[in-house]
Amino acid sequence: MEFFCVLASLLVLFLLCAFLTLKCRLNASLAPLTALGLVVLALTFAGMADALYYSTISLLLVCTALGLWALWPRRETKPDYRALLSPGSVLFWGAALTFCLYFSIRQPMATGFDELNLWATAVKITKVDNRLYAFAELGTPWAVTQNPGLPLLSYFFSFFGRYADWKLYASYDILAFAVYAAVLGGIRWRDYRVAVPLAAVLWCTPWFLTVYNHTIYLDTTYMTAYGDVPAGLVMGGAVALWLMVRRDRGPRWAVLPVLALAANLKANTFVLALVAAGLVAVDSVLFDRSRTILRRFGMAAAAFAAPMVIYYFWNVRFVGMLVAKNAESGGMGETTASMAEVVTGGIKILLGQPVEGFVAQREPQFRQAMADMDTQFWTDAGKLSMIGQGRNVVLLILAVFVLAVLLSGSRRLRARLGLMGLLSLVCFGGYNLMLALSYGFIFKPFQAESLTDYNRYIESYYIGWFVLALACLSLALQPGTQRSLSRLEFLRPRFELAGQGVLLALAVVMLLRVNQMVLPQLSVLGFADSEFADRKADRAEAELVSSYLTQNDRVFFISQGDNGAAWFGAVFDFYPILVDYSGSTDPNALDGGGGTFGLEELRPTEEGPRSYYYRAYTPEHLAEVVRQNGCTVLYLQQLDEIFVESYAELFADRLAAALNGETLLYRVTPQGFVPVEMEVAVP
């Protein structure tokens, strides 16, 4: 049933794409990416206005009406239905339908730590509440400032029916397939020798640039709620769409919602949207000779305006409002240095000028981060892809650019693609500077020491850069771009054949390498049901416990030995019932969310989560925290001897029911914590 609910959303998307193709003259391969950009843009402003539900209904009706109008046959003119079929569009719709059906059968689940503490939880909250997650009340310090693009994309495909984890993964993969279709762009059916290997290369790209060792656990490249891979793909997809629109002389405005989408996926990848906008702007001003100089500069200004509008309304206005409300309610308000201070201070350090205050204190951390990133790029310590460290990835990408330039049939196209490769290389240096500034002045010292999540952050640029290079190669290999070889016209077939051969070789190498590193049974292609056995058990228990609660209950979570993962999972599984930030009212305290409760004299001596996340509470303090936080029940997911010895006196039966496996819940009453009669499944 849920598959047909997603199918309804896909049908609405198809109708919008049909309108863009038949009425706006946008190539069918490019329409899905533009359509997704328009949908997310509309939902973002609706969400910020707290009018998400009814705005989504209106959006669905408008898309349906536009599509039916475009498809409806008329006496005077009959729509060109064949225009809806191209190699890129068939790839997109075939892959989208296949993955939705596959995921609806296999039912993958959210399991990653960051999925449960942010990415997947934001999607579930938005769907359950029919409001943007930033407005939700949780029993936890909530990352309300994260950009809403991906959660709202998932909301569009989850609007009909109930929430399900697999819809989240299907949504993000649909976005990836829209990017792949845009790279194929104007390739015609008879150009299958380009389309087929290029599609294979694109399919392998997220694996090829993010997996750097043989996997022994499930690889979740196509089953992840993280925003890093989508951010890179959309960066490359935006420029690819622009190149193909220019080739077909289609509507230039179609790239603007995609640039806005690129700015709306992840807070720390906003710079990727600016890179894409800059490349589009330069190409428009210098090479779009079919338009007047005024229109060229207007397009360049619009390219930068698209991501900046999203940044202003979300990061400045909306987030500023949230931070101010947090400070008014006793929260921390703004907790990091301003971006202007960080950038100015970092540049002064690079120029050898004196700095003072916060910047001077962090200067050693900034310099060390730059040195560590340099080591990661050049040496074997920095393996992050299937071909090794960053230097190898950059050489591969530059080789693709060089090949595209060599295969270009006109001087103008060679200049365009060569300049695009050069400017993207300069932007790569700027992106590395942005990462160094982040590690030096925004991240905590222990995060900078280990370059926490460096692979994820740098891989976003590598993915986008590689997709951009492939788009340039795709453009160079399309016959329509090979018309100006002058005296060497007779060599054109040989140039085309050579380029197709290199592309085929690249596809074969990438397919073989991915097959070496990621076994089918450890990928999206054939994962075992047992991969999610633990999460299924946790969710089943949460659903059982929730059946004894009301939405007005607030749960105090006990899971001795937890490092926070079980607690985040409970927050996700119980919602809309709130699981409290157990054990601390201070969002910066180390002991909040999961952990081990006990008396100080019972603190474990061995290293591990039990000692690191230990909260030495007296019985009186624990009871006070439970009541002050407004908790109405205690959920005892995991007990141990420390908890029993420390707090049995707080429970009316001294924890006898819990220890005998008769209950998982205790109700908070004036007389103490009273066991709730329930049927507990025997494991």
Higher-confidence residue of 21 and 499: namely: 21
pLDDT above 90 as % of the chain: 70
- The pLDDT assigned to 341 comes to 73
Residue 322 in this model has a pLDDT that exceeds 70: yes
Taking the C-alpha atoms of residue 81 and residue 68, their distance in angstroms, rounded to an integer, is 13
Please indicate, yes or no, if residue 624 is contained in any of the structural domains.
yes
- The pLDDT assigned to 493 comes to 65
pLDDT by residue (tens digit) across 502-532? 999 999 999 999 999 999 899 998 998 889 9
- The pLDDT assigned to 464 comes to 97
pLDDT by residue (tens digit) across 154-183? 999 999 999 999 999 999 999 999 999 999
Beta bridge partners of 675: 666
Please indicate, yes or no, if residue 652 is contained in any of the structural domains.
yes
When divided into structural domains, the chain yields a total of 1
What is the DSSP-derived secondary structure letter of residue 268? G
Q: Which residue type is seen at 88?
A: G
Residue 87 in this model has a pLDDT that exceeds 50: yes
Buried/exposed 222-240: b ≥16 CB within 10 Å, e otherwise: bbbbbbbbbbbbbbbbbbb
296 pLDDT band, cuts 50/70/90, is very high
Provide the domain limits for residue 546.
Answer: 533-675
Q: Which of 640, 644, 679, 653 has its CA nearest to residue 541?
A: 679
Highest mean pLDDT: which range of 49-63, 206-220, 311-325, 609-623: 49-63
The pLDDT mean for the chain works out to 90
Please indicate, yes or no, if residue 38 is contained in any of the structural domains.
no
Residue 485 in this model has a pLDDT that exceeds 90: no
- The pLDDT assigned to 632 comes to 96
Comparing 140-144, 148-152, 193-197, 248-252, the range with the smallest average pLDDT is 140-144
- The pLDDT assigned to 42 comes to 98
- Which residues lie below 8 Å from residue 121, measured CB to CB, with a gap of 6+? 115, 133, 568, 571, 572, 575
Please indicate, yes or no, if residue 293 is contained in any of the structural domains.
no
- pTM across the whole model: 0.93
Written as six digits, the tokens of 33 are 């990416």
Alpha helices in 329-357 (DSSP H): 339-350
484 pLDDT band, cuts 50/70/90, is very low
What's the average model confidence in pLDDT over 634-638? Answer: 95
Handedness of CA 27, 33, 39, 41 (dihedral sign): negative
What's the average model confidence in pLDDT over 85-114? Answer: 95
Residue 589 in this model has a pLDDT that exceeds 70: no
- Which residues lie below 8 Å from residue 488, measured CB to CB, with a gap of 6+? none
Please indicate, yes or no, if residue 657 is contained in any of the structural domains.
yes
611 pLDDT band, cuts 50/70/90, is confident
pLDDT by residue (tens digit) across 352-376? 888 878 788 888 898 999 999 999 9
- The pLDDT assigned to 547 comes to 95
492 pLDDT band, cuts 50/70/90, is low
Please indicate, yes or no, if residue 296 is contained in any of the structural domains.
no
Please indicate, yes or no, if residue 651 is contained in any of the structural domains.
yes
Residue 482 in this model has a pLDDT that exceeds 90: no
- The pLDDT assigned to 331 comes to 43
Report the DSSP pairing between strands 665-669 and 633-638.
antiparallel
| Cα distances (angstroms) measured from residue 319 to each of 148, 312, 315, 322 | 11, 10, 5, 5
Asked if residue 535 lies in contact with residue 569, where contact means CB atoms within 8 angstroms, the answer is yes
